[in-house]
A and B are shown apart, each in its own frame.
Chain A
Amino acid sequence: MEATQVLFWFIAVVTILSAGIVAFSSKLIHSAFALLATLVGFAAFYVYLGADFLAVAQIMIYVGGILILIIFGVMMTHRIYDTSKRTAHNSLILSLLGGAAMAAILGMIIFRSPWTATVFKTLKPTTSMIGTSILTNYLLPFEVISVLLLGALVGAVYLARREEDEE
C-alpha cells in the first residue's frame, strides 16, 4: 500500500471512531470535542477528493465557527455537569427510521446524479475556477447568498436576544 493510502485508512478510522463518540457519548462536552476530530477528518477526505477549497471551507466554517458555537453553547448551559439530564439513548426505532430515511434520500441523490466517469489524475487547484464561476455564470446565486446570510444573521441574533430577555 502507498503512504497516502495508509494515511487515508488512518483518517477514515479516526473519523468514524470520533463520530461514534459524538453519537454515543453521554457527556455533551465530550461529544462536542469528538466532533472536532470528525470535522477535521472530513476536511482530509475533501483533500483526497481534490476539493481543496471545500477542505479549507470545512476547516474555516465548521471547525473555526460552528464548532466554537457548539462548545460555547455547552459551556453556557447552566450547571451542565450537575444535572442528571444526559444525552438520551431512547427511542432506538425512531432514530433508526430517521437514519434509514436520510440514507435513502442520500442514496437516491448519489445514484441518480450523472457522475463523470473519468478520474482526473492530476488534481488542479479549484479556487480560481470557483471564483470565475461565482462571478460570471453563478452571479445571481452568489448575490442571493448574501441575502440568505443576512436573513440568517438577523434571525439568529433575534432568537438569541429573545432568549436572553426572558431570563
Chain B
Amino acid sequence: MTGFYIVFLFLVLGMLIVAVTLLLSRLLQPRKREKDKFIPYECGIVPEGEAWIQFNNRFYVIALIFIIFDVEVLFLFPWAVVFDTMGMVAFVEMMIFIAILLVGLAYVWAKGDLNWVKPKPRLAHLAKKKGE
C-alpha cells in the first residue's frame, strides 16, 4: 500500500507545477487590459459563432463502447498479476472472457456504429414505390 504515497506525491507535484507556472506568469507578464484580449482565442482569427457548439453524437456512441472495454481492461489487471502462477488455465479463462466481449465489438462494427459517417441503410423497395 505504500505505493499510494507515490501517487499522492505525484498528485501534489502536479498541482504544484501548475500553481507555480501560473504564479510565475502572473508575476512576469506585463498587464495591459484591452478589449480584444477578452475575445476567446481561436487560432489567431476572429472567432465566429459561439464557443459552445453541439458536438457530434458519434462521440457519445464511441465513448459508450469505450466504457465497456474499459471495464474489460480492468479485469485484465488482476488476471495479469496472477498469470505467472496460474499459467494455461488463466489464459484459456481470459480468452473466453474476451471472446464473449468480442461479439459485442463485432456487433457494433457490423452495424456501422464505429464508422464516423454512419452508412444509411438503402431501402430500395421503398424508393421504388415512391417513384411509381
Contacts and interface: CB of A to CB of B under 8 A. Distances in A.
Interface of A: 7, 47, 50, 52-53, 55-57, 60-61, 64-66, 68-69, 72-73, 75-81, 123-125, 127-128, 130-132, 134-135, 139, 142-143, 145-147, 149-150, 152-154, 156-157, 160-161, 163-164, 167
Given A135-B79, A135-B82, A143-B96, 5 more contacts: A60-B74, A76-B54, A131-B77, A135-B90, A160-B60
Contacts of B89: 135
Contacts of A161: 61, 111, 113
Residue of A135, A150, A152 ringed by the most chain B CB atoms within 10 A: A135
19 contacts: A61-B67, A75-B54, A75-B55, A125-B3, A127-B78, A128-B82, A132-B85, A142-B97, A146-B72, A146-B96, A150-B101, A153-B107, A153-B108, A154-B104, A156-B68, A157-B64, A157-B65, A160-B57, A160-B64
Say whether chain A's binding surface is mostly helix, strand, loop, or mixed: helix
Interface in B64-117: 64-68, 70-75, 77-82, 85-86, 89-90, 93, 96-98, 100-101, 103-104, 107-108, 111, 113
